[in-house]
Amino acid sequence: MRHKFLQLACLMLILLSSCKKSFLEQTNPNSVTIPQFFTSETDVLLALNGCYQSLRSNSCIGEESDLYTDQRSDDTGTNDNQSNAGEPFQFNNFSLLPTNTYLKSHWIALYQSISRCNVLLSNIDKVQFASDSTKKQYIAEAKFIRAYIYFQLVRKWGDIPMTTEALSTPEQVTASTFRAKTPDVFAQIIADLHDAAVSNLPKVQPAANRGRVSMQAVTAILGQAYLTRAITVTGANKTSDLDSADYYLTACYNMRGFSSLSDIPYADVFDVNKKATCPELIWQIVNIQGDINYHSNIAADAQAKGETINSQKTASGTGYNVTHDLVNEYEVNDPRKDFSVKYANDPIVKDWFITKFRDASSTAGKTGYGGNDWILIRYADVILMLAEVNFYKGNTTAAIRYVDMVRERAGMPSYAVSMTDPTYKQKFPTLKLAILHERRVELAFEHHRLFDLLRFFTIDELVAYMHTKNQADWGLAQVSNFGTKDRYYPIPYYETILDPVKMYQNPGY
């Protein structure tokens, strides 16, 4: 961890310094320090943009970061264990090694985002703002991003190194080289989100600021953080946390800019031409159609050979694999299946691939430079979390009402009617499993499934659940490899060797 923090501090220094034109005029460029960079509101905005920019990386939480989420669940996988696919295959084969270089890249990218936020927050008071309102918004945005990334880390690794200050000396780095306990990390996440929740952030960001944090996003993630802590953290005040989750998720729901979810067609949520106007979208990473630097690749990359539904770009491979386990979970006549996945008949494919993200426009063209924004939070997710919270609180009627909001939009029968169907009742005999099912088919490939599984089940329950899966529906990866060790990722090897005591390894690795 020690060398990582120093590396990230240097990267941040280079990034911030290179944004400033006067940097080139310095007699000795190497003498420019981060505090010297922060001299105006523009410098702070550039630093904040750097925080947002870091999220785009597929090693962080970008659109193709599914290796660290969906491929660790039962939705997708890498159906190739040879050559360059060897290390990615470890994720969905549940044979992940601490030396995995993709895992290391993910760790570094997440901490780079945190480092950028810490640098901004540690230096913003040095700058005189024309309006204190602007300063408060920038602080709220940086704290939200930091909390969001720590939320990613703590759910994947458990105890993690944590700092809220910019580290600039070896002594500071050494002092921070230890794994903070999970309850302490959640406390910091919630504290940052609370600060953002009482800030002056707008309820909804205007179109010109699409992609920046809004109060809708803050309340949604604060509610999710409380929900996750209530269910997964030993010693948490479950009743209090569920009440808080209910409060903030309801606050988010009440900020919606639509009457009923059924007023928004499912396809509109992913329509590249409606991404700036669809009221279901809460927070997204913005991409620019046809732009060589800021385009989206997901439509083209997901497409299988011989297909044209996603992109005009000619595909040569199998696209993004989908487990047959997911394909089989869709109910008969669920339109979300036909929208989200398709069977490719090309001789080298003969399998399902993802069609949820499409841009076959002339602007995206043969290069596949799509304009899909990467959706991080949307209202169907919030509504289904409200169903989950109310289920845990014993408010069954409310929980079912929220489930039915999502099912109605999809054109599916209500929960009560569905429970009269023997097939549905056999597959989802409890309301809890019905909520989990609805989240799976509604939010497929949006990088929620791993976190849902870890929240809905204890690790022993999850092992039993995964072992009920049919290996024939899984592909080359061995579902039987899933065990209690897979509750968390291993700490990257190059971190543990720095201090094997303070940077102890997770069990089973």
Q: DSSP readout, 334-398? A: -HHHHHHEEEE-STTT-EEEE-SS----TTTGGGT-B---EEEEEHHHHHHHHHHHHHHTT-HHH
- For residues 122 and 172, state if they share a domain: yes
The answer to whether the beta carbons of residues 432 and 387 sit under 8 Å apart is no
Please indicate, yes or no, if residue 361 is contained in any of the structural domains: yes
297 located within any domain: yes
231 found inside a domain: no
Are residues 368 and 506 both part of a single domain?
Answer: no
Q: What is the pLDDT of residues 475-486, one digit of tens each?
A: 889 999 999 999
Tell me, what's the pLDDT at 85? 64
pLDDT band at 15 (very low <50, low <70, confident <90, very high): very low
Q: Helix 132-157 and helix 101-123: axis angle, to 10°?
A: 150
CATH number of the structural domain spanning residue 91: 1.25.40.390
pLDDT at 4 over 60: no
Is 257 a domain residue? no
pLDDT in tens, 59-115: 999 999 999 999 999 999 876 655 456 899 999 999 999 999 999 999 999 999 999
- CA torsion sign for 459, 461, 467, 470 is negative
pLDDT at 52: 98
Residue 401 burial (10 A CB sphere; 0-12, 13-18, 19+): middle
Instruction: Tally the domains of the chain.
Output: 3
Is residue 7 a part of any domain in this protein? yes
Considering the domain architecture, whether residues 456 and 326 belong to the same structural domain is answered as no
161, pLDDT greater than 90: yes
- Grade residue 31 by pLDDT with cuts at 50, 70 and 90: very low
**Do 424 and 500 lie in a common domain?**
no
Within this chain, do residues 346 and 432 fall inside the same structural domain, yes or no? no
Of 22-31, 63-72, 281-290, 317-326, least confident by mean pLDDT is 22-31
Could you tell me if 363 and 388 lie in one domain?
no
Residues 384 and 493 in one domain: no
Domain assignment present for residue 232? The answer is: no
247 domain-assigned: no
% of residues, the chain, pLDDT over 90? 87
Percent helix / strand / coil, the chain, rounded to 5? 55, 5, 40
Q: Are 35 and 87 contained in the same domain?
A: yes
Are residue 53 and residue 181 in the same domain, yes or no?
yes
